[in-house]
Structure 1
Amino acid sequence: MGDFVFSVVTPCFNSELYIAETIESVLSQSGPFRIQYIIVDGGSTDSTLQIIEGYQHRIKSGRYSRVNLGISLEVVSEPDQGMYDALAKGFSRVMGDVCSYINSDDFYLINAFRSIHSVFLHYEKMNWLTGIPNVYNSIGSNIKRATPFEYRRDFIRKGVYGRELGFIQQESTFWRSSLLKQIDTTRLGKFKFAGDFYLWHEFSKKNKLWIVDSIVSGFRTHPGNKSADLFSYKKEFDSIVSEAMSLKDKFDLFMHKRAWKQPEEQKAKLSQTFISLSDPKLQEKYRTLLGESGKPASEPSEYDTVPKHKPYISMVIGSFNRLEMLKICIAAVRDELQDKASEIIVVDGGSTDGTVEWLLKQKDIITIVQHNRGEWNGKPIERKPWAYFMNLAFKASSGKFVCMLSDDSLIIPSAINNGLALFEEQLSSGRKLGAVAFYFRDYPLRKKYAVAVNVGNLYVNHGLYLKTALDEAGYIDENYHFYFADTDLVLKIKEKGYECIASPTSYVEHYFEATPEIRASNNDTKKEQDRLRLINKWKGKAYPDEEYAKYLKTVGYWDYHTEDFVDEHNTIAKLMGAEND
């Protein structure tokens, strides 16, 4: 007998917001089985394909080699007629023992496949299983769980589950691949909304749907998913229903509904289709298989061992007396990272405009206040450099990546996610990457977006750092008063063997004329000292000795590498509006 294989299909189109979580939830399934993962893309124009490519590199690099018995990731990207046309294409490639499909905004839970595998292994005549329906909101919070009683075969075909009782949750449903022979894939490909019900309708003609007492997936509700259009879904749903309800059916349904309202424990006792994973024989059989495969039951995957409290990305933002701008800066970050484990760290220089009071009310923000102006005990407070403040936040951050922004800047949508996807892709390919620069525009001083170069080296003004690279570099040199410290940081990172690249799809608006009195107070008088420090420190290291005279004249004016880009969101107007509030 060969290895057991799960075949999973994900249809997608412009799915950059959630697809990374979907893919990770499939690839990280741990157990004695192989996974055939088929992603059918409808010709995405956002960063979806780059994210998928990053996971292809991860598989090749062996990241999941200790998790299961092997993974194949097949990607098809071409225009299609909709989600179910893509799904039909994916089903035609299925080669595994058991099949399922997961949409690009949903996800499997840890050990989901292990639970399903144990049931199919123990009950060889069962062909069709589903788990406990489980619903999450757009930011990943669990908002609903509903234990079903039974899914009667005739009631499925008569449309009861969707009209009178809850839907069969598609992402929690698995079937033996032989059932796909019952499906007319041409007809399936023509559905726009209720193709899942067409599958259940056809399967129910010859098979009973069994319920496993386990939560195996999460259905995510958000404004963009297909199921949000319930009117269109139910209209297509009704067109598939093939049998009418008789008078006896209506009486049976009345009793059936009463059974669905029973307490969970009572449902399990009364149901004829409920499977308990607590069955000792089922567990013993699976433990035996785990031992034979050489993969112990206790072996966790990399995905399993990530602490739930540990963020994936840490946002670091410096602030001082720009409350309204800071609010929209943080709102944009929250929107961008709503599907990722993240933390926001704001270092404030002792704002007096209500910023500190507002920050302390934000329960998702780590606020560090370090007064840097005014007096204390009758003496002027000694001004600390920009690097000191940023280092406070960098050292406090615990994410794999750290993103640096300022309170007078605003990300253009997808900037951070695109940068993260590029970072992961390059790391997965084996590249030692330490920083990714975002294109930015000093509005209205500059009309084009650009990345900047100093002493012949690209540096990060706004962008991402690998936290381990920051640690190895020793963070920012606090001998700089304000300017050029960001250039110096990237040079220190490069000195440790890391690279710095630009993300061609990440853009930031920087309102250069915001609160000019604050900008003027940022140690402008010491800018020349900072400039000379950079040039002298990196002579013969970041640039050849013979170019010293050239950089002595040019460094400080920055070499901007511009990019033609039109911001359809008109992000700068939001920044300017905030300053005027």
Structure 2
Amino acid sequence: MNQEPLISVVTVCFNSINTVERTFKSILNQTYSNIEYIVVDGKSTDGTVELIKEYEDYFKKRNIIFKWKSEKDNGIYDAMNKGLEMTTGELVGIINSDDYYEESALEIISTEYLKDSSYDVYHGLLNYYNSGKLSMIKGGDSSVLTQHMIEHPTCFLKKKTYEKHGFFNCNYKYVADYELLCRVKKHGGKFKLIDKVIANFYDGGAGDCLESVIEALKFRYEYGFINKKSMIIKYIKIFLGRKIFR
């Protein structure tokens, strides 16, 4: 393998006029060239659709394959699944409309893939912003999945991996990305951690809410990562902690 793989990137958005332009620019500014970019909008009414149309020409001038749609969906993971169905690349990344890639992100992923294409998931480090300020650089190998999610904005899965293991399970409202990666891991999927910053994440999204924390806890119990006693204890600590820090 010596030809640069086509890398598909999916962004889902809804009324994201204040943040999605930064995401678009991070795709346009990539040092990598063989890109397919897919935007799935949830029928925005704030000008996001008009911005997508405006950027369509910029992507075409950059020779980026660009596809988009705007229609009602049944939540963020349903929208992501719609985007996945539209991808044709060998590798697929998902970046949300309030996050963005480092300029060398896709080049880094491609380089690692060309070195060894046997992995199912290629992922790296994440700049984590809290209240607009860089608070930490996060990154862990797939062994941490028994405790918590790895950095999904940095993850690139082979299209064949999605075809083998399936898309996001929309029965989960907040942790379908976590469930998917655990599903891949459970069935022998290989993960490659790259010791470089791939993406930038801003807190305050759905993944930070109490409901998300609880769903992740229940999921860990369902997958056998923790027993029922541990789940109950952690559940109580979550509520006590929320009460104390209000």
2:142 and 2:166 map into 1 onto residues whose CA distance is 23
**Aligned residue number for residue 27 of structure 2:** 26
Q: Residues 128 and 210 of structure 1 are in contact (CA less than 8 Å); yes or no, is this contact kept in structure 2?
A: yes
Please list every run of 5 or more consecutive structure 2 residues that lacks an aligned counterpart in the other structure.
231-246
What's the CA shift for 1:138? 4.8
What's the CA shift for 1:239? 4.2
Q: Residues 172 and 217 of structure 1 are in contact (CA less than 8 Å); yes or no, is this contact kept in structure 2?
A: yes
| Counterpart code for 1:145 | I
Report the structure number with the largest CA radius of gyration.
1
Helix, strand or coil at the partner of 1:110: coil
| Counterpart code for 1:199 | L
**Aligned residue number for residue 174 of structure 1:** 156
Matched, 1:93 2:93: no
1:107 and 1:188 map into 2 onto residues whose CA distance is 24
Matched, 1:59 2:51: no
Shift of the 38–98 alpha-carbon distance from structure 1 to 2, 3 Å rule, reads same
2:25 and 2:126 map into 1 onto residues whose CA distance is 21
Matched, 1:161 2:143: no
The TM-score with structure 2 as length reference comes to: 0.83
**Aligned residue number for residue 76 of structure 2:** 83
Helix, strand or coil at the partner of 2:142: coil
What's the CA shift for 1:81? 0.8
Matched, 1:117 2:117: no
2:41 and 2:9 map into 1 onto residues whose CA distance is 14
What's the CA shift for 1:132? 1.4
**Aligned residue number for residue 192 of structure 1:** 173
2:29 and 2:219 map into 1 onto residues whose CA distance is 36
Matched, 1:142 2:121: no
Aligned to 1:233, which of 209, 212, 215?
212
1:237 and 1:169 map into 2 onto residues whose CA distance is 15
Shift of the 174–161 alpha-carbon distance from structure 1 to 2, 3 Å rule, reads farther
Matched, 1:37 2:30: no
CA RMSD of aligned residues (A): 2.2
| Counterpart code for 1:177 | K
2:101 and 2:136 map into 1 onto residues whose CA distance is 16
CA displacement 1:222-277 (0-9 Å, x = unmatched): 3xx11221x21123224433432589xx9xxxxxxxxxxxxxxxxxxxxxxxxxxx
**Aligned residue number for residue 124 of structure 2:** 131
Matched, 1:102 2:84: no
What's the CA shift for 1:147? 4.5
2:110 and 2:27 map into 1 onto residues whose CA distance is 14
What's the CA shift for 1:3? 4.8
Please list every run of 5 or more consecutive structure 1 residues that lacks an aligned counterpart in the other structure.
65-69, 251-581
Matched, 1:151 2:133: no
Q: Larger relative contact order (C-alpha < 8 A, sep ≥ 6)?
A: 2
Q: Residues 29 and 113 of structure 1 are in contact (CA less than 8 Å); yes or no, is this contact kept in structure 2?
A: yes
Matched, 1:72 2:65: yes
Shift of the 38–190 alpha-carbon distance from structure 1 to 2, 3 Å rule, reads farther
**Aligned residue number for residue 544 of structure 1:** none
2:58 and 2:174 map into 1 onto residues whose CA distance is 33
1:228 and 1:127 map into 2 onto residues whose CA distance is 27
What's the CA shift for 1:174? 1.1
What's the CA shift for 1:57? 2.0
Q: Residues 11 and 94 of structure 2 are in contact (CA less than 8 Å); yes or no, is this contact kept in structure 1?
A: yes
Q: Residues 87 and 189 of structure 1 are in contact (CA less than 8 Å); yes or no, is this contact kept in structure 2?
A: no
What's the CA shift for 1:116? 0.9
Equivalences, count: 225
Alignment of 1:523-534 (within 5 A): none
What's the CA shift for 1:184? 3.9
What's the CA shift for 1:143? 1.7
Helix, strand or coil at the partner of 1:25: helix
1:213 and 1:110 map into 2 onto residues whose CA distance is 16
2:201 and 2:120 map into 1 onto residues whose CA distance is 23
2:195 and 2:4 map into 1 onto residues whose CA distance is 25
Q: Residues 86 and 189 of structure 1 are in contact (CA less than 8 Å); yes or no, is this contact kept in structure 2?
A: no
Give 4+ residue runs of structure 1 displaced > 3 Å after superposition: 182-185, 238-243
2:122 and 2:31 map into 1 onto residues whose CA distance is 19
2:139 and 2:175 map into 1 onto residues whose CA distance is 22
2:218 and 2:87 map into 1 onto residues whose CA distance is 28
CA displacement 1:265-297 (0-9 Å, x = unmatched): xxxxxxxxxxxxxxxxxxxxxxxxxxxxxxxxx
1:76 and 1:190 map into 2 onto residues whose CA distance is 23
2:120 and 2:166 map into 1 onto residues whose CA distance is 18
| Counterpart code for 1:12 | C
| Counterpart code for 1:196 | D
Q: Residues 98 and 202 of structure 2 are in contact (CA less than 8 Å); yes or no, is this contact kept in structure 1?
A: yes
The TM-score with structure 1 as length reference comes to: 0.37
What's the CA shift for 1:120? 0.5
**Aligned residue number for residue 14 of structure 2:** 13
Matched, 1:221 2:182: no
Q: Residues 4 and 110 of structure 2 are in contact (CA less than 8 Å); yes or no, is this contact kept in structure 1?
A: no
Helix, strand or coil at the partner of 1:40: strand
| Counterpart code for 1:208 | K
